[in-house]
Amino acid sequence: MKLSFRWYGESDPVKLKYIRQIPKMRSVVTAVYDVPVGEVWSRESIAKLKEDIESAGLIFDIVESVPVHEDIKLGKPTRDKYIENYIENIRRLAEVGVKVICYNFMPVFDWTRTQLDKELEDGSTTLVYYKNQLEKMDPLTGELALPGWDSSYKKEDLKDLFEEYSKIDKEALWGNLQYFLEKIIPVAEENDVCMAIHPDDPPFDIFGLPRIITDENNIDRFLKLFDSPNNGLTLCTGSLGCTKSNNIYEMIDKYSAQGKIHFMHVRNVKILDDGSFEESAHCSDCGSLDIVEIMKILHKNKFKGYLRPDHGRMIWGETGRAGYGLYDRALGASYINGIWETLEKLK
Q: How many residues does the chain have?
A: 347
283 is catalytic: no
For the beta carbon of residue 156, count every other beta carbon within 10 angstroms: 9
Q: What is the 3-state secondary structure (H, E, C) of 305-345?
A: CEEEECCCCECCCCCCCCCCCHHHHHHHHHHHHHHHHHHHH
CA distances from 69 to 6, 66, 164, 231 (A): 22, 9, 14, 19
Per annotation, catalytic residue among 306, 324, 328, 335: 324
Residue 44 neighbours by CB distance under 10 Å: 8
Does residue 198 have an active-site annotation? yes
Which one of the listed residues 198, 262, 282, 299 is annotated catalytic? 198
Say if CB 27 and CB 338 are below 8 A apart.
no
What is the C-alpha to C-alpha distance for residues 99 and 59, in angstroms, rounded to an integer? 11
71 included as an active-site residue: no
Instruction: Kindly name the residue from 262, 265, 282, 299 that is annotated as catalytic.
Output: 265
69: annotated active-site residue? no
Q: Which of 201, 215, 310, 328 is catalytic?
A: 310
Cα 276 to Cα 157: distance, rounded to the nearest angstrom: 29
List 129, 194, 201, 236, catalytic entry: 236
The one catalytic residue in 82, 253, 311, 328 is 311
Active site residues: 198, 236, 265, 310-311, 324
